Every structure is written in structure tokens, then in C-alpha cells.
Amino acid sequence: MSSAIGLSDPETPVTAASDTAASEAAASGTVALGTVPSGVGAELLPSTAEDGPAGLAIGGVPLTELARSFGTPLFVYDEEHLRQRCREAVAAFGRDNVAYASKAFLCVAMARLAHEEGMLLDVASGGELRVALRAGLPGDRIVLHGNNKDDAELRTAITAGVRHIVVDSFDEMDRIERLHTVEGLAPARIYLRVAPGVAAGAHESIRTGGNDSKFGFGIAGGAAASAVRRAVDSPAMVFEGVHAHVGSQVLDVAELAAGAAAVARFAVGVQARRITIGGGLGVAYETGQSAPSFAEWATRVREAVRGAGWAGDVGVEPGRSIVARAGLTLYRVGTIKQIEGVRTYVSVDGGMSDNPRPALYSGRYEAFLPRCPGAPRPLRARLVGKHCESGDVIINDAALPADLQVSDLLATPVTGAYGYAMASNYNKLPRPAVVFVRDGRARVVVRRETDEDLLRLDLPDPAYPAGT
């Protein structure tokens, strides 16, 4: 990272009030009333980020050049950053103990990359499973999750020989036994997902380990123990271990360790052979935040499970912490609306269709202009998308350079997780392209949707069947 982006001083005191005054102050080199955040934090940018004559470059390619070549909105991923994060996770936990949670971001290229770097792949639906198989992954490097797997998903997984299926309910056990008895499918290798009574995470919607959860068998009340007994006795299942996940965007490893200890105590009691404690490790989304390393996570979790009597390995499933910081989103500014005495609105050509996290989880982000990533950002504005929703807000109170103008290229960093993965066609907007960059080159790994794509599922002049 070039020091030209420099954020050692996250806020600079200022002395003027209005957007106009801030612009004049920036032009004259003075400062204005309130606080002026400096450029975007280096800790939020991909590892190969450098500031140069053409502005910020990722993987040796200027972001302005990527926008000209591929359009906006655009998801840009630093491939070297992705690979390094995979290697760090494998080094911390071991090749057979760490699975990439593909729900955070999945395409064929990402599945291949994670596999090449020694990770298993955690998929949570039949669609994600098909992407993994299309990418060429062998079945025994894939793990299937899901709280409501149907027969087709289970059939595909068992036939493909996935490493194991994480069973979530007694109804799912019924389906597995029916497929074994009626269709003659091989016994399924399974983990049982348990709810350990420990929930963590930055928002209620991403806390998954509590007793009141749609996921897993509750340890409290005995459901988990009953599930173990049934799995052990069933000829349709091979009971291999216990899984739990306490939540997402967890920045305190003590919470993850507490969940791991609860799972370990249960696993020791039922004589399970393996445990997986899921993912959930958080990332920094705003300047000044920090997140634990994989090594810190591994150390605390191992201490916790040893203290609970578990002597074996521990599996984990990081997703967000692999891909979030590796990716950023490029937008083009379309309108700037100043409401005197209220606020300034800055609208871009994307929005909640490519990043629903602010609306769903109150997710918070930073923004900057790639042409001047280290510039002071005295302008306060609400950064919004182009959808017909007042809730289409990307950043409620964004800090932006004073000379922001229509047609500027704008970037939001740390959008590599749950941006493209949760993208939609709301208002019939095409989903953005996804580009990987490395060593001065860019490759499109997911093409931009077209108008034809938006119409391809509509049938021309559909008629009702005769006689109805």
C-alpha cells in the first residue's frame, strides 16, 4: 500500500460550515468547521492497493481504467488478496479443517481459487453445489449446509460424494433415510448442526447459535442428543461430527471461543469424532475498526475446546473474512442534490440491488474517489442508489471530497462479501460484472447482465391451457 493514501490521522479539525465553504477551504489548502476525515483507511483496501498518477490501482490496474473498460457498477476483486487470505486460513487451521463459506461470494472462478489454495468449499444450496461441481471440485472437498434441503439437493450431494452433509433437522433425517431405502443411495456421511445456546454477531439477523434459531438441533432440551442417537442407529447415515455456528461479523474472538467451548462439551459427551464451529469472524468496514487475525482466532478457539475436554482438531468455515476486504464496488455519480438546511444527497448508478446489507443489517461503509483516495473528505452527504425506495441508502452519512461532481467515479471498499452474492434485479437493473485483477491484468469472471438477460425468463404472449 502506497503511503500516499496515508491515513495515520483519521480526522483533521476544520473551521467552516457549509459545503461551499468546505470546497473553498479545500481549494485554498485550509480547513473548515467540524471534522474532516482524511482519505479512506489503508486497512479497508485490498492488499495490492497503490496510489499513482492515475489514482488508486488494485492488482496493478487503475480503478479508473477498469471503469472505462468494463462499466459501472462494477465489482473488483484483488486476486492476490483472495489467495493470501485463503493461505492464511489454511496455515492457521490446516488444509482439511477449513472450508470457504461460499455464500459470501461464489462464482466458478472463486470456487476454483479457494480449491487451488487448499480450502474445502462450504455450499448452502443445490445451486451453490452445482457451481462447485462445475468448477471441477471433487465431491470430497465440498460440504453441504442448509436448514431445509429438499430431496433433489440431498440426492445430488450424496451422488456426488460430498465430504459430509450438515444435517439440520429430523425432517432432513427422514429424507435421507427415504433416499437410502427407496432409491438405494449410499449412506450419507453427516455432521449434526446444533444450537449451542451461544449467539454472537453485529445484528440480530446474523446471530445463529441461540436457542431461538431456525438452524440446528437445540442442545438445551435434548433435541441434539436425540439426533445423535438416531444418526448412530440409522443405516442411512454415518455420524461423523458436530457443527455449530454462533453468528456473523463477530469482532470479539471471545464470543467465538465461547461457542466453540459449548460445542466441544457436547461433542465430548456424545463421543463425536470431529467438530466444526463455523465461521463468523468479522472484518473492518470503517476506518479505525480492527478485526482479529486467523491466527488469533485459531489460538483462542483451540484454548477453548481444550478447556472443554476436546483433544481433536477443530474445523472452521470462514467466508466474509476471506473475501470482504478483497473486493470493492465502483459506481458513477449521477446526481447531487443539496437541500438547504437538511442534507446533500449523492446518487450513484447502483444501490440496494448490488449491496442490500445497509438495508438488511444496517451495514456501514466508507466511500472515496479513486482519482484522489487520500484527499480530505469534508463533504457530508447521504450516498444513495437509483432505486424507487427511500431506504435505498448505501451510506447514511458519507464523508466525501469537497470537489465531488456529477460523473465522478466513486468506490465503496470492503464489499467483497454479500454484495454480488445478494444482488438482485430490483427495478429490473442488470446485475454488475465481476472482475478479478492481478499483476497488471484484469479478467471478467462474471459478465454484466444485459437487457436480454432481464427478459429471458418471460414467455412471449403466454396462453392459458385449453379447457381452463
Catalytic residues: 388
Instruction: List helix spans (H) across 103-169.
Output: 108-116, 126-134, 151-160
- Contact by Cβ (8 Å): 75, 327: yes
Which residue do the cell numbers 433425517 mark?
173
Rounded to a whole number of angstroms, the CA Rg of the chain reads: 24
> Can you tell me the distance from the alpha carbon of 300 to that of 280, in angstroms, rounded to the nearest whole number?
14
Q: Which three cell numbers stand for residue 80?
A: 492476490
Which residue do the cell numbers 436425540 mark?
226
- Contact by Cβ (8 Å): 235, 193: no
Give residues with Cβ within 8 angstroms of 459, minimum separation 6. Answer: none
> Can you tell me the distance from the alpha carbon of 226 to that of 219, in angstroms, rounded to the nearest whole number?
10
What is the DSSP secondary-structure string of 45-73? S-TT-EEETTEEEETTEEHHHHHHHH-SS
Which residue do the cell numbers 493470501 mark?
84
Nearest to 101 by CA among 74, 71, 64, 128: 128
What DSSP element (H or E) covers 111? helix 108-116
At 191, is the secondary structure helix, strand, or coil? strand
At 454, is the secondary structure helix, strand, or coil? helix
Q: What 8-state DSSP symbol labels residue 271?
A: T
